[in-house]
Amino acid sequence: MKVFSNAETFNYSWEEVSTANWRKYCPWNQKSTHVVAVDTLSRTVDPETGILRTERLITCRQSAPDWLKSLMGGSMDESQVYETSYVDPRTRTVTMVSANLTWSNLINVQETVVYRPLNGTQTRFEQAAKITALCGGWQRIKNSIEDTLVKRFRENAVKGKEGFEAVLAMSRRVFAEEREREKIMMLQAQAGNIRMAAAA
């Protein structure tokens, strides 16, 4: 088993980060192109705790190394990940746990991501992944498979941070524009009321 871990700080509030997190893999993110689809499978709010639980299916397309492909005897380019996330509004924590659906007889990948507020304007991101090759046989092959995936995690984490920064910046801009539009509409409506009152 190998472990990959990573932590980042985003200069955005937890509210902004947890909202933008839902569209982390949208076209605004031009870095994490290996994620080709994100589907929501279920979504519920626990009436007692207020925790929002979401199940998603993440579809990735990323080519595997040639030696691994020949070992498996086929293309390994498309893979799926099952993700369950829990938003706790009371502790202001987002926890996301993911497991690989594809090649689960060969390898087991368990990833946990947590977003917590550091303060009013900063959010901490913590990521940990446990990677275990399950195939019987040579330890050397298992090690190679695990090392390949750890390397892949490291590369994707760098791209993920850059891509998410872009999504956060864009979200802030869009929300600000929306608020501005709402303000203008309200002012126009008020001006209209004043004109009507003056005419009457």
DSSP codes joined into one string, 37-67:
EEEEEEEEE-TTT--EEEEEEEEEE-PPPHH
Looking at the Cβ atoms of 19 and 144, the one nearer to other proteins is 19
Sheet holding 2-10, edge to edge: 2-10, 123-133, 107-117, 93-100, 78-88, 52-61, 35-45
Do 111 and 97 touch, CB atoms closer than 8 A? yes
The distance of closest approach from Cβ of residue 19 to other proteins in the complex, given in angstroms and rounded to an integer, is: 5
The distance of closest approach from Cβ of residue 116 to other proteins in the complex, given in angstroms and rounded to an integer, is: 14
Tokens of 145: 């498979």
User: CA 101, CA 58: separation in Å to the nearest integer?
Assistant: 10
Looking at the Cβ atoms of 23 and 161, the one nearer to other proteins is 23
Tokens of 200: 């009457």
The contact mask relative to other proteins for 143-182 (x = CB under 8 A, - = no) is: --------------------------------x-------
> Own/partner pairs for 174-177, CB < 8 Å, 24+ apart?
none
Looking at the Cβ atoms of 49 and 143, the one nearer to other proteins is 49
Q: Which of residues 25-84 bind other proteins (CB under 8 A)?
A: 25-26, 35-41, 43-53, 55, 57, 59, 80, 82, 84
Query: CA-CA distances (angstroms) from residue 160 to 7, 21, 73, 78, 128?
Result: 12, 11, 30, 19, 14
The contact mask relative to other proteins for 88-127 (x = CB under 8 A, - = no) is: -x-----x-x-x-xx-x-----------------------
The distance of closest approach from Cβ of residue 188 to other proteins in the complex, given in angstroms and rounded to an integer, is: 21
Applying CB under 8 A, which part among 21-29, 131-139, 152-160, 192-200 lies near other proteins?
21-29
Task: Indicate the SS3 state at residue 198.
Answer: helix
User: CA 84, CA 155: separation in Å to the nearest integer?
Assistant: 23
Residue 132 as a binder of other proteins (CB under 8 A): the answer is no
Q: Which residues bind other proteins (CB under 8 A)?
A: 15, 18-19, 22-23, 25-26, 35-41, 43-53, 55, 57, 59, 80, 82, 84, 86-87, 89, 95, 97, 99, 101-102, 104, 175
